[in-house]
Amino acid sequence: MKSMKVVSIVGMTGAGKSEVSRVFEQNGFIRIRFGDVTDEEMKKRGLEPSEENERFIRELLRREHGSVAYAKLNLPRIEQALKNSDVVIDGLYSWEEYTYLKECYGEDLYLVAVWSSPKTRHARLTSRASRRLTLEEAISRDRAEIENIDKGGPIAMADFTIINESSLENLKKEAERIIATLR
């Protein structure tokens, strides 16, 4: 029996992680978005979606559950999904989350980094339809993700890297190429 794969899409905010995750989902992977935990917690507390509230909840969950909070809180969802399909994770952030999942899944865990320049990402973040950020919020979020949650480690350890500086069509082609390699 072939083992199921866990593929985590990593990258800075606005790089295109969710778009790549959707391509994996369209190719039969069950998509698990780590950020759903943040959204659910904000809803439970009656907080409106905003960069400030999202950051508050992310930091709160990490204080309560440690630096592996999102991997730990999403592990039951991952395990359930693996009973039926390969899994794609949208939003693994920290080095600690990566090492936690690596301990769980070993050679069946793959990282796909999506990279875009800060200028490109900030332009996307200030113009996207949902969860839009101001330029100042985008810059602040970059700093917080690099300095406070060790987001760079998983990006550096990626098994595959997609450079997302051109079209959505090209991004999707690159994701398809990686999926074909994993099959």
Provide the 8-state DSSP code for 88.
E
- Please indicate, yes or no, if residue 31 is contained in any of the structural domains: yes
Looking at residue 55, its pLDDT comes to 81
- Please indicate, yes or no, if residue 111 is contained in any of the structural domains: yes
- Please indicate, yes or no, if residue 91 is contained in any of the structural domains: yes
pTM of the model: 0.88
Specify the CATH number for the domain of residue 67. Answer: 3.40.50.300
- Over residues 73-95, the mean pLDDT reads 93
- Please indicate, yes or no, if residue 121 is contained in any of the structural domains: yes
CA dist., res. 51 & res. 56, Å (int): 9
Looking at residue 2, its pLDDT comes to 62
Q: Is pLDDT of 94 > 90?
A: no
9-26 pLDDT tens trace = 999 989 999 999 999 999
57-75 pLDDT tens trace = 988 998 899 889 999 999 9
Name the residue range of residue 86's domain: 6-182
CA dist., res. 7 & res. 30, Å (int): 10
114-158 pLDDT tens trace = 999 999 999 999 888 777 888 888 888 888 888 877 888 899 999
- Please indicate, yes or no, if residue 56 is contained in any of the structural domains: yes
Output the CA torsion sign for 135, 158, 175, 71.
Answer: negative
31-43 pLDDT tens trace = 999 989 999 999 9
Number of domains in the chain: 1
- Please indicate, yes or no, if residue 154 is contained in any of the structural domains: yes
Query: For the packed helices 135-148 and 118-127, what is the interaxial angle rounded to 10 degrees?
Result: 130
- Please indicate, yes or no, if residue 1 is contained in any of the structural domains: no
